[in-house]
Amino acid sequence: MNLYETKQIRNISLSGHFNTGKTTFCDCLLYYSKVINRRGTIEENSTQSDFNEIEWERKSSVLSSLLFLEHEGYKINFIDTPGTDDFIGEMISSLYVVETSFIFVNAQNGVEVGTENAWEYSKKFNLPIVFVINKLDLDQANFEKTLNQLRELFGRKVIAFHIPINVGPSFKSFYNVLDMKIYEYLDDSGKAKIKDIPESDKSKLEQYRNELLEMIAETDMYLMDKYIETGNLSDDLLLPALRKTFIGKDIFPVICVNSKNNIGTDFFVDFVIKFCPAPDETEGRTTRAGNIQPVDPNLPASIFVFKLTSEAHLGDMTFFKVQTGKIFPSIDLLNETKSQLERLNQIFVINGKKRIEVNQLFAGDIGATVKLKFTQINHTLHEKGFNIDYAPIEFPNPRIRIAVAPKTKGEEEKVGTSLNNLHLEDPTLVVEHSPELKQIILYAQGEQHLAVAKWRLEKRYKVEIEFKEPRVPYRETIQKQVRGMYRHKKQTGGAGQFAEVHMMIEPYSEDAPIPSEFTVRGREVYDLDWGGKLEFVNCIVGGVIDQRFMPAILKGVMEKMQEGPLTGSYVRDIRVVIYDGKMHPVDSNEAAFKTAGMMVFKENFIKADPKILEPIYNVEIKVPEEFVGDVMSDLPSRRGIIIGIESEGRYQKIKAKMPLAELDKYSTALRSMTQARATHTQSFAEYQVVPPQIQQKLIEEYKKRQQEESE
């Protein structure tokens, strides 16, 4: 293939809800540019983009797929992204490395959750946006309704460039508002027969063209004067102004395609080349230090890694964007994150599962390499002396979790290693080896995300696993003040053990006074690793306990706080006051005082009206108006407390608080009650006391589990 310099490169993303025809349209682009000689189909598992076995089984995209075409001296890199909310990380990482976002919309279904996700992240990354209305051949397709939805949600900058003719099964042509021509597609070549618009049809297009001209004219006083003077803009003024307006995000074009019959493909490719920005025409990449680094081929080389894959038939591959300079085989680059030198022995450009080795890639291009030892997603590699570190992709918090256990005993380490490999490839899969819960917890975006992770573990890593109910990281605390003592006395023939500790415990409260009867000798507040506080107060007078034994008492308390007596959960928010005790000149030692401190704490704790705390999460649910009632009436049944509700276009955003114990299966329930049209995010808020009936149930379950483990 040819070499392409920065100005000749275009990077675009195809995103949007699932079932909007993105993957099929990728084959249209490749067929039109003669990369392939036959268009594939989802049904036949023959598309260039969906080449993974799990995608064949599901008949939908799971991973993003990098492809490219060459046309009239330009190279267009395009990334097909999954539309299912569960695989949103693939879309986010793809949008992070392109200069233009094409958001596909199903003309029958209109704006959906995936449309809004793509819009949100395209705006976050400051990308020019094109809406692509697809599937205009469906019986229930409605262009006007879809266009109005886009305008209602995303504003008056949404402007129609195409008006379809004969929407429905006979759809094969559209009016192009830009040049006031009819584009008619008589075969599946993707190339239109361009015809003049009959005089009788021109009047109904004037409204759309005037909207377009007014929007462009508003951005420039000279253009506005010309438009007012003539009522039109000539092509030599219109086209450069349109490009500037589009790149400046002052206009969001709406175009029509039909991926099933290869309609609109030629216009799409021409639009990308003529109007989409080259990589060096955008602001550039933000660094971790907060600076902006433009794409520049004249600087030393640097690349940003946005994707990793590990497939049995392809091996391990690292996908990157060249941010500055140019790279070539055998170039040595320093991994800024790991401070390790990596050699890029081979450089590839990618078309789905096909990789083509190249001798050079310029700044702005996207490629891949193999066999890097230290490099992961979000890492920056650069030439020595050109110290730069690009800001990482920020992925959304998980929305679901599950416990993972091997089906075969003794394979825990293999399961853990395989899960960590999955996380390296997909950072939205988060793995926690929890000593607190005694489980491996896998966090994901939803049930489908978990199902694919399980499939990949079994197929790729040959690990048989099962999903189990995840335990909840409860906490324990107390509600009243209790005093007590414990004497530890042990004689074993030689030196014995002796320690007596008098302790008061009470709920921790910042800056609360110590009872006046005590004289404070030392006072420390510790931030616990698991959240909350421990205040440890030394009120020993008269030397009844030597100062050197106080750390041992503290250690005993801290160890017991890691296994509360009610459910074995961590203990938090407690003040401990040591106010009296005894020691023996020979038999007292640190081990004895550690044991005494641990036991008196345990006995006091049980008497101090202990309570179990549960994690509470802030939840934001974005739901279409017609499902608001169902969602709001469902929340109380999950012990959810509604905080408020606000409008966001056609959607309502419900804010609530919900216990983690009720959130584990909420993603699935929400999908079911809203026909997969709602989405939610969650973040930890606080710990709250569980209701009495639930506390009793948790205590009984813990006792039963202890009994089973001891048998």
In this prediction, residue 494 carries a pLDDT of 67
Identify whether the C-beta of residue 66 lies closer than 8 Å to the C-beta of residue 79: yes
Query: What pLDDT digit, counting tens, does each position of 139-177 carry?
Result: 999 999 999 999 999 999 999 999 999 999 999 999 999
Tell me, what's the pLDDT at 314? 64
- DSSP lists the bridge partners of residue 522 as 538
Residues constituting the chain: 711
111: enclosing H helix or E strand:
none
Nearest to 176 by CA among 191, 161, 186: 161
User: Residue-wise over 318-340: b if at least 16 C-beta within 10 A, else e?
Assistant: bbbbbbbbbbeeebebbbbbeee
Radius of gyration of the chain (CA): 32
Low-confidence residues in the chain, pLDDT < 50:
none
H/E/C letters for each residue in 451-511?
HHHHHHHHHCCCCCEEEECCCCCCEEECCCCEEEEEEEEECCCCCCEEEEEEEEEEECCCC
**Model confidence pLDDT, tens digit, residues 184-206:** 999 999 999 999 999 888 888 98
At 313 the pLDDT is 66
282 phi, psi to nearest 5 deg: -110, 175
Q: Nearest-CA neighbor of 687 among 609, 616, 612? A: 616
- Whether 425 and 395 have beta carbons less than 8 Å apart is answered as no
Domains of the chain as residue ranges with CATH: 8-202+250-281 (3.40.50.300), 285-382 (2.40.30.10), 400-471 (3.30.70.870), 476-609 (3.30.230.10), 614-693 (3.30.70.240)
What pLDDT, on the 0 to 100 scale, is given for residue 493? Answer: 64
CB 616 within 8 Å of CB 659: yes
Report the predicted TM-score, pTM, of the whole model to 2 decimal places. Answer: 0.89
* Tokens linked to 23: 């993957």
The H or E element that residue 67 is part of is: strand 65-71
Per-residue pLDDT, 675: 82
Token reading at 435: 């000593």
**Neighbouring residues of 97: CB distance < 8 A, sequence distance ≥ 6:** 11, 79, 304, 306, 321, 366
pLDDT confidence of residue 225: 83
Closest CA to 676 of 109, 39, 91: 109
For residues 335 and 293, what is the distance between their CA atoms, to the nearest angstrom? 18
DSSP element (H, E) containing 335? strand 331-335
| Segment 461-466 long-range contacts (CB within 8 Å, at least 24 positions apart) | 461/414, 461/418, 461/421, 463/406, 463/411, 463/414, 463/415, 463/418, 464/406, 464/407, 464/408, 464/411, 465/404, 465/405, 465/406, 465/407, 465/415, 466/404, 466/405, 466/406, 466/407
Chain Cα centroid distance, residue 58: 21
CA 329 vs CA 302, 343, 345, 361: distances in Å: 14, 8, 5, 10
